[in-house]
Structure 1
Amino acid sequence: MKKLVKWALNHLPRPLLQRIAGWVVPVLGLAYRGRGGVECPVCGSKYRKFLPYGYVRTRPNALCPHCLSLERHRLLWLYLARETDLLQKFPRTLHIAPEVCILRHLKPHFAGHPGQYITADLESPLADLHFDVQQIPLADNSVDVVLCNHLLEHVADDRRALRELHRILRPGGWGIVLSPVDRDYEHTYEDDTITDPDQRTRIFGQYDHRRIYGADYPDRLREAGFEVADIDYAASLTEAERTLYALPADHIYMVYKVG
């Protein structure tokens, strides 16, 4: 199973993966059905364990076969559900590179409020709008909430993208902007001269990554004008919850635009 998942991630185009994952992965997950192991907080499904996942280093117990949530998605969902009012209200929300498992909840939630939930991606067939996050075709101060996760490590000019996110967010608005962060790095490492996909995979961990964010990631968010809250949310949960939901030690990065 590990070899099959790794091969698919590294050889199939992402739009194709997005189209077929919804029916292929649940079929693979039939072998993992059972109770007493893990539970997905996003969809409520229970398994003996989750599927493995990873482009280079395959992580065991990572992918929910039912809703396709990964560790970071489950942590994000718990935060959104427990710590924000997004699921009680209907703020104008821009969801960039929408995670399928979370989109499946937010789209029905906003169904009675047309135009309040907008999904966007450069090429995903699941998104409403298609654009480069370095040049967002939305007006200044036009959205209340921005969700943009695990995208900036792919973008050529991430500082420009962050300035665009700040521009479109209204004063008083908030967002969650997550990226893979390696705190063993004091400073973000990037080298645009590395263009070979195999070399990028070896150095950055994935063929389409451009940088490894370090402990200075919150500072990069602040450079764009945001106020930032760096939240070690997993640490606030019980050990039993972290094990049951198979959660990562990732932080939640909340950004705010002050008027």
Structure 2
Amino acid sequence: MRSLWYGGDEVFCPCCEGKFRMFLPFGAQQRTNAICPKCLSLERHRLLWLYLKNKTNLLSKNLKVLHVAPEYLLKKSISVLPNISYLSADLQPNEAMVQMDITDIKYPNNVFDVILCSHVLEHIPTDWQAMAELCRVLKPGGWAILHVPLDPKLDKTLEGSSDLSPEERERLFGHHDHVRMYGRDYKEKLEKAGFTVKVDSYAQELGIDNIKKFGLMADEDIYFCTKPLSSA
């Protein structure tokens, strides 16, 4: 049945470069036009890959990259780039090249040119500690994209207590093992950790036609973080 979705060229997946009639529904709320029928990329993966290719130096400069909790389809594309020295890391020992607790990173200061960390911080009770550690190991002048689920209607991040049931977490945060839902104060949290932050409404910049073509969320922003040169 899934092969029926392959015919057509109304949408385009930048991750696998496949053309389809539409993306498939996905998620608890069955978001329409969400998941690629070929590579299984979601909206956030497609947005991030477009941003990395079009608005960063990832493809053009020799960079040492730390990829936390690596998504397979992005790891596959980034790790083979000839200009990239790539290291993947995960809390689970068999999920990446090295095991790493990002609240206590066993690397010295100023090691990585780039850090990619998507949909990880919402699982960590002491997220402030993880943000500070990621900033510490980033080189001055380096950049990071720390992507999280975020509700733009929330002024302040909604934190959950440790005694919440999985069902309550699902209701409040969208997933049973999330400990918070970030709000618009996420930028301030990153800045407090030491980053300079640009909130880039890249999906909006692409325009409504490309939002539909690439299967993006119109209100999803990129939080582009840099470490000040003065941190050296």
TM-score between both structures, scaled by the size of structure 2? 0.93
Structure 1 stretches of at least 4 aligned residues deviating more than 3 Å after TM superposition: none
Could you list the runs of 5+ residues in structure 2 that have no partner in the other structure? none
Distance (Å, rounded) in 2 between the aligned partners of 1:194 and 1:184: 25
Match of residue 221 from structure 2: 251
Matched, 1:143 2:112: yes
C-alpha displacement of 1:42: 1.5
Are the aligned partners of 2:6 and 2:37 in contact in 1 as well (CA < 8 Å)? no
Residue 150 (structure 2) aligned to one of 181, 195, 219:
181
Are the aligned partners of 1:29 and 1:66 in contact in 2 as well (CA < 8 Å)? no
C-alpha displacement of 1:139: 1.4
Match of residue 44 from structure 1: 17
Residue 59 (structure 2) aligned to one of 42, 62, 87:
87
After superposition, residues 3-42 of structure 1 pair within 5 angstroms as 29-42=2-15
Distance (Å, rounded) in 1 between the aligned partners of 2:193 and 2:5: 44
- Which of 116-125 and 206-215 deviates more? 116-125
Amino acid at match of 2:136: R
Distance (Å, rounded) in 2 between the aligned partners of 1:104 and 1:200: 32
Amino acid at match of 1:254: F
Match of residue 178 from structure 2: 209
Could you list the runs of 5+ residues in structure 1 that have no partner in the other structure? 1-27
Shift in CA distance, 130/30, structure 1 to aligned 2, threshold 3 Å: farther
TM-score between both structures, scaled by the size of structure 1? 0.84
Query: % of aligned pairs identical?
Result: 41
After superposition, residues 109-128 of structure 1 pair within 5 angstroms as 109-110=81-82, 116-123=85-92, 125-128=94-97
C-alpha displacement of 1:73: 0.8
C-alpha displacement of 1:109: 0.8
Report the structure, 1 or 2, having the larger helix content: 1
C-alpha displacement of 1:96: 0.5
Shift in CA distance, 124/245, structure 1 to aligned 2, threshold 3 Å: farther
